[in-house]
Amino acid sequence: MKDFLKDLNKEQREAVKWINGPVLILAGPGSGKTRVLTYKIAYLLSLGVKPYEILALTFTNKAANEMKERAFNLVGDPAKNVTIGTFHSVFAKFLRVEAEKLGYTKNFTIYDQDDSLSLIKNLIKELNFSEDSINAGIVQSKISNAKNALITPDGYLSMADNQFELKVAHIYKAYQTALFQRNAMDFDDLLVKAVELFVNFQDVLEKYQSRFKYILVDEYQDTNRVQYILLKMLAQKHRNLCVIGDDAQSIYSWRGAEIRNILDFKSDFPDCKIFKLEQNYRSTKKILRAADFVIKNNTEQILKNLWTDNNEGEPIVVVECKDERDEAERVVHFIKEEIRKNKYNLRDFVILYRTNAQSRSFEDELRRERLPYTIVGSIAFYKRKEIKDILAYLRLIVNPKDDESFLRIINFPSRGIGEATIDRVRAFASVKGISLFEAISRSNSIPGLTDRARKNLFNFYLLIQKYIDLKDKISAGELSRALIDDLGLIRLYKEDGGPEALQRIENIEELLSAITEFSNENPEKNALEKFLEEVSLISDIDTWENKRDTITLMTLHSAKGLEFPVVFITGLEEGLFPIANAIYNKRELEEERRLFYVGITRAMKKLYLTYAKSRMKAGNVMYQRKSRFLDEIPIELVLYHSAKDEARKAKKKEDFKQGYNFTVGSVVFHEVFGIGRIVDLSGNGDKASAVVDFENFGRKLLLLKYANLKPVKF
């Protein structure tokens, strides 16, 4: 085995080689965190530790897959048998094995956020609460927060101190009962039920405690209460718990993450060994200094001294804009300038924003300029309607108790089953205490149905039952293809014939390819269950790949763990970033500052920071103040562009344009290239030039002195 430790710097090497007892590795941005975790796995294997004795936990499938690949490249086949995955995927696998102890079957369904929200909406109706007075999304968030804090429905009820909280408590209790009846768990249950399992079944806990002698945790600053409890329980026997993270990048308190988990690790494990990875391999000295100056304004932190051997780099560009449209135009202008001067590819740029709504103006401008872009967090493949519909069929086949999947597809494609019929089925199922699928198997006993409705319901029952019977006899790929043929979905969308319908057909074909590929790689009988589990645990960032040459747009929260040569952080205004709710709350303000720090440290070569003097909100123009965070960057690191500077440049361009009687947007005729539209003008006198977008020849840069352009009048 090669001496792979020589690839590490001194601090990284020491952190990798310390394997006994609790270890805290504080890893600044760009300091090789993933490398250290991967090398630690490889080092343990090289010492003779068995692969099944190592557990590595991450927060995204992307990070887990990267770790698996790197570990395999270092030590080969032994790395394949190490348990590496997200908290949710790893504990979902444990729960599959132990499900029956908790009253579930091994084929339980995992509800994603949409499924969960749909169920909550149905329960609000069933409990006769006014949908106008209680928002299902808020209820979902409160239930999730309660679970992450290990608060049960009864516990929530005992703490409720107003009418709204009492309603949430009743919905929470009904929600957990409904999930259990449907043989389903939501994301939070995958961890909460694991705690329940370990608390109530000591033998199960001891089995996993004995098995995992070494536990490694990535991004420890993002752990919540439930994850913290699970780790303490699992590591109790061998105490070889190695956590790696950066308190300065703790940005997920809104989804339950507790920064105290990393800040208090030394208190929880007084004998822990602490290592600090402070050398940054990603950013220039100027970018790193800016980040360091910003984060030192936080009081709740573990001090680190980040440094880099990289070059000084260019100044950080701060751009004052008139409004959000001007901001978008100038961001796109700077992207084009960077490409022209430094030969960057489009994939080298990311535009970051605090809220999803900010993407619109950038999308408009990028479309105008015909620059391709990708939004991380737009409708992901597995969230598209046609894909969710097919997945609902497959989930019902795997788990016939899944009422939410049943309700989604009972009348899709249309089979003449209306709301009144569905209401009678639900009432019958409720009285009998059975699933909706079982209820329609007894459609002759459901009161109030027409003969036609009974027949349609029973035909649907026979369709699903046919595939339940086939599930263990043919591959997941074959079953899915046969099902889609039976449903006639491709034919249905072909008859529609519109561009959206054709896109749906392509998506269905892509899904069939994914299932077939998965079933070829997983020939065992439960491949379909495994595929559905993997799909349910995919996040937006897992499906994003920076391979296509497009500009990336994403929220700052989505950007953690990524890096780009050129980064734009936009909307740096008080009330937007930092967000309004945080301005008067010290703890929340410090988290906003950590989020800014995360954004800054995504940049490798160049960083642009933009803000608008006014911004449209709900149809009204609001005048903005620049973010306090901008004043925390030393002036000597900054190159400032004001709106006035740009106004002077615009006037010069206008003077030039008047001389030639052309403006940006003018339609012109060229003897060789034909008709085109001017998209940019620059220079003056003999050097005056225009970029013209021609209908048949694309964009051309032409010297006006020789181009002999003629205006086209309409």
**Binding site members:** 27-34
* DSSP H or E run through 680: strand 674-682
Residue 502, amino acid = L
244 Cβ contact list (under 8 Å, min separation 6): 24, 25, 27, 33, 36, 37, 216, 217, 218, 219, 220
Angstrom distance (rounded) from CA 55 to CA 238: 13
384 Cβ contact list (under 8 Å, min separation 6): 504, 507
Dihedrals φ, ψ of 254, to 5°? -65, -15
Three-class secondary structure of residue 255 per DSSP: helix
> What would the two tokens of residue 583 be?
């301005």
- Alpha carbon dihedral 555, 244, 228, 53, in 10-degree steps, equals 120
Q: Could you tell me if 440 and 425 are in contact, meaning their C-beta atoms sit under 8 angstroms apart?
A: yes
Q: Kindly report the CA angle at 710 between 709 and 713, in degrees rounded to 5? A: 145
CB-CB neighbours of 637 under 10 Å:
17
E strand spans, 443-588: 551-555, 564-569
Q: According to DSSP H, which parts of 273-357 are helical?
A: 285-295, 324-342
Q: Could you tell me if 280 and 31 are in contact, meaning their C-beta atoms sit under 8 angstroms apart?
A: yes
Angstrom distance (rounded) from CA 426 to CA 661: 72
User: How many Å separate Cα 429 from the centre of its chain?
Assistant: 37
Instruction: Return the DSSP state at 628.
Output: G
Q: Kindly report the CA angle at 226 between 220 and 230, in degrees rounded to 5? A: 80
> What would the two tokens of residue 655 be?
């003077």
Q: Residue 4: name the closest of 79, 73, 67 by CA.
A: 73
For 150-157, the CB contacts below 8 A with 24+ separation are 150/192, 150/195, 150/225, 150/226, 150/229
Angstrom distance (rounded) from CA 555 to CA 235: 35
Three-class secondary structure of residue 209 per DSSP: helix
Q: According to DSSP H, which parts of 527-618 are helical?
A: 527-536, 556-559, 586-600
Strand partners, 317: 608, 639
Angstrom distance (rounded) from CA 584 to CA 628: 13
Angstrom distance (rounded) from CA 358 to CA 352: 9
Residue 541, amino acid = I
Q: Could you tell me if 102 and 197 are in contact, meaning their C-beta atoms sit under 8 angstroms apart?
A: yes
> What would the two tokens of residue 391 be?
């997945």
* DSSP H or E run through 616: strand 614-617
**Region of 201 on the Ramachandran plot (φ > 0 left; ψ -120 to 50 alpha; else beta):** beta
Angstrom distance (rounded) from CA 535 to CA 518: 11
Angstrom distance (rounded) from CA 168 to CA 82: 41
Catalytic residues: 33-34, 218-219, 249, 602
Summarize the annotated binding site for ATP as residue ranges.
27-34
Strand partners, 320: 611
User: How many Å separate Cα 410 from the centre of its chain?
Assistant: 30
